[in-house]
Amino acid sequence: MEANQGHREWIDRETNDGAMKWFEEIGVIRHGHFVLTSGKHSDLYVNKDGAYPYVVQISMMCKIIAEHFPNWSIEVVAAPALGGIALGQWVAYHLAERSIVAIRAPFSVYAEKSNDGQTFEFRRGYNTLISGKRVLVVEDILTTGGSVAKVIAAVHKLGGVVVGVGALCNRGGVTAEALGVPKLYSVTSLSADAWEEADCPLCSGDVPIDTDVGKGREYLAHKMAEGEWRPG
């Protein structure tokens, strides 16, 4: 498949296999030794940033997400910054396309990390668009669901009602029940192992950590600062 192919036929409407194949072809799915945002180690990494330059395919996958929430009266699409911002825009756009009355087109907003980095919060006036609204939360990659859970909490804090979560890829087996939402839909899903550092077989096997993607660079910098690792 050409990387910039613009036809929807590249995605199987029943299995979405084409999307996963495309992720493999452009290097979004990578194999090696990675440190994830959660701090866990894994032999597989979904490099979401590698997908965003391909706006046609991203738009198509966001349209699929929108199609799975057709009659949910969604008023706001909310996403965590930075990765989810583009998704929120596209999903809101495709939801608006499906709306008969233009005024019902949903807002697209994003939440940012708080100053202490422990929570997410809506700023820039977006907080005024949440109260009493039906909100769809979107994310690119679900690993532990931690970021999405914090966005959901931020919506609830402002009096919004989260009706569901949409994602490009669920790599952590995250469920709607775990997030406390009525529905979770992901365009693709995969099964990947992740370990705490102490239990990581790749560390035990001295497999080099990838520093190009994920948190590997920061992890090794911390190890150097603590005197636990020296470049060899």
Domain presence at residue 230: no
* pLDDT computed for residue 9 by the predictor: 52
Domain presence at residue 22: yes
* pLDDT computed for residue 225 by the predictor: 82
Which residues, in sequence order, are bridge partners of residue 27? none
Domain presence at residue 48: yes
Q: Smallest Cα–Cα separation from 160: which of 127, 112, 190?
A: 127
- Read off the pLDDT of residues 9-21 as tens digits, 9 standing for 90 and up: 555 555 556 788 8
E strand segments, the chain:
29-35, 41-46, 76-80, 107-113, 120-121, 134-142, 161-170, 184-189, 194-195
Burial code of 31-62, b = ≥16 C-beta within 10 A, e = fewer?
Answer: ebbbbbebebbbbbbbbbeebbebeebbbbbb
* pLDDT computed for residue 98 by the predictor: 72
Domain presence at residue 68: yes
* pLDDT computed for residue 100 by the predictor: 54
* pLDDT computed for residue 74 by the predictor: 94
Q: 10 and 22 in contact (C-beta within 8 Å)?
A: yes
* pLDDT computed for residue 1 by the predictor: 40
Domain presence at residue 164: yes
Query: pTM for the whole thing?
Result: 0.83
Token output for 168 = 């490009």
- Read off the pLDDT of residues 145-183 as tens digits, 9 standing for 90 and up: 999 999 999 999 999 999 999 999 998 899 999 999 999
Domain presence at residue 232: no
Domain at 104, CATH number: 3.40.50.2020
Domain count, the chain: 1
Domain presence at residue 113: yes
User: Which domain, by its residues, includes 180?
Assistant: 8-225
Domain presence at residue 110: yes
In the chain, which residues have pLDDT < 50? 1-8, 101-103
* pLDDT computed for residue 191 by the predictor: 84
* pLDDT computed for residue 231 by the predictor: 55
- Which amino acid is present at 127? N
